A and B are shown apart, each in its own frame.
Chain A
Amino acid sequence: MNLLTPEIARWIVDAAYILVAFLFISGLKKMSSPVSARGGIVWAGFGMIIATLVTFIAPFSEHALPTQLATNFGLVIIAIVVGGSLAWWSGRRVAMTDMPQMIALYNGMGGGAAAAIAAVELYAGNAHGVVFSTLAVVGALIGAVSFSGSGIAFAKLQGLIKRSFRFRGQQVFNLALLVSVAIIGIALISGFHATPAAVTAFFAVALVLGITMTVPIGGADMPVVISLYNALTGLAVAFEGLVLQNPAMIIAGTVVGSAGTLLTQLMAKAMNRSLGNVLFAGFGESSSAASGPVTGSQKPIEASDAGVMMAFGQKVIIVPGYGLAVAQAQHKVWELAQLLQSRGVTVKFAIHPVAGRMPGHMNVLLAEAGVPYDLIADLEEINAEFETADVALIIGANDVVNPVSRTDKGSPIYGMPILNADKANNVIVIKRGQGQGFSGIENGLFYLDNTRMLYGDAQGAVNQLIQAVKSVG
């Protein structure tokens, strides 16, 4: 212990945290380009390992060691092993389609941890002064809401909760909860009633608020909510970092807080929803599935004809939707694309920002099947190209190619930017049956003169197309 004087321990911890902050920020920076993204998460991972290891030294930087340090050391190690191995096990085996709810779950755990830190500080009466106790209380509120809210988001996307619970005066009820948690919070800050019972009541109300805020939100809006909770957890971590005067927590938490806020805005914009709309109004409540001016009939096509059409085309643009992922047909689609490529057909994948369960989710699912990212184009890149495409192949996508969003002001998706698949010379739609998208809106695309419907599940239909292209020879 002679070598590790409090001064030296302090110096090691502080120096290491600078390195940690550098690794986190440059890791996130690298993660914003597909070429360097993999290296980015590894850098950030090293940052986390360094931060964790060096924190074991931190207690020795104090002149008076914490009273139960030996026991607590053991508890910390057990807790890390328990939490870490459970998360490792679940993270390795989760299917790519289930990724959104898994992110929600891990995010909620972070929020819960931030709330737990605040709880320890508040029960122990460590947060002295108005500034520190305010930070602790606000961080605790945000963390607790993020914890229980993310839990609900997980349960909804996982299918454990199937309906959206709404009742009369729900928003008034939530407001009442918010007011009461604020009153208890102020009591805690002022030190007027900072009893353990008050702390307990504070956390109880905050946790309930997270639940009641999240249950009315529909599954389709959940990605935006998860992203919001992600940003909030970052903010909660930053606040608790200010309480503990820990620069690594302040920097990492704040960076995530602001980056997450931006990401939430981008997602909401891509879905043509405002954040307020997502949080305070259920989808389709304002206008109930307006039946647009759709005329004509759906014209079916045989897989063999569709195969010939693509095999002799110059350019085919594939528009995958979540129906593709549900049918686990990504690998088959890539096989079809490669088959067409070998015949000299230019193949591209067009991804709408909200394809999949959250923005970018479909890219992950295609990447899993081995589709190179340079064949995948997003909305702005590809929309001008549809006019030159011989075939637009729509698989399991619906609302994101619905031209009604351009014309029908009464439609809930009016104004949402769509993929201009209708501009292609021929449109082939693979679809289970004649149903409607999640928003329950008729799709004008299906009735156009240049559109043909190939009925069947994505897996089977794509398989038929592969056989058809092969038999062209």
Chain B
Amino acid sequence: MIDGFIAIYIFMLAAFTGYEVISRVPVILHTPLMSGSNFVHGIVLVGAMYALFHASSTLEQVIGFIGVVLAAGNAVGGYVVTERMLEMFKSSGQKKPAGGHHS
């Protein structure tokens, strides 16, 4: 259990952390980073699971079920597309992936 003020402390420190972590990101990574942060809020899955575990009526179960489906979609989809994008970033020193085949 988190006491009220402790929660506010966490909230404030996390807000600064998010701002600082991103502040020096180069433009070339904006799209993957947006996708990556989109993945991170997929943590909503944890809350949706909690809500469905505690559902006691059919209505709550239905809404909770939809919530978990959506949250799982957010987490898994966010991961897959971010990973696909970042996988492609290579520097000149690294082995080049398939693409520009020619002599």
Contact = CB atoms under 8 A, between A and B. Distances in A.
Nearest to B23: A262
B18 A259 contact: yes
Contact of B96 (A253, A356, A363, A370): A370
Interface in B1-25: 1-2, 4, 7, 10-11, 14-19, 21-25
Interface string A262-289: 1100110010000000000000000000
A122 to B, nearest CB: 10
B21 A110 contact: no
A28 B22 contact: yes
Contacts of B74: 87, 106-107, 109-110, 113
A369 interface: yes
A246 B50 contact: yes
A31 B82 CA distance: 10
Nearest to A78: B65
A-side interface mostly? helix
Contact of A230 (B17, B37, B91, B100): B37
A35 B29 CA distance: 11
Nearest to B85: A364
28 contacts: A31-B25, A37-B29, A41-B83, A48-B42, A51-B46, A73-B53, A76-B52, A80-B45, A80-B72, A83-B73, A84-B72, A96-B84, A96-B85, A109-B70, A112-B70, A117-B47, A120-B55, A244-B50, A245-B1, A246-B50, A250-B11, A255-B18, A257-B18, A334-B99, A361-B31, A369-B100, A373-B89, A374-B91
Contacts, number: 418
A253 B99 contact: no
Interface residues of B, number: 90
Interface residues of A, number: 129
Interface of A: 20, 24-25, 27-29, 31-35, 37-38, 40-42, 44-45, 48, 51-52, 55-56, 58-59, 66-69, 71-73, 75-76, 78-80, 82-88, 90-92, 94, 96, 99-100, 102-103, 105-107, 109-110, 112-114, 116-117, 119-121, 123-124, 126, 131, 196, 226-227, 230, 233-234, 237-238, 240-242, 244-263, 266-267, 270, 331, 334-335, 338-339, 351, 353, 356, 358-361, 363-364, 367-370, 372-376, 378-379
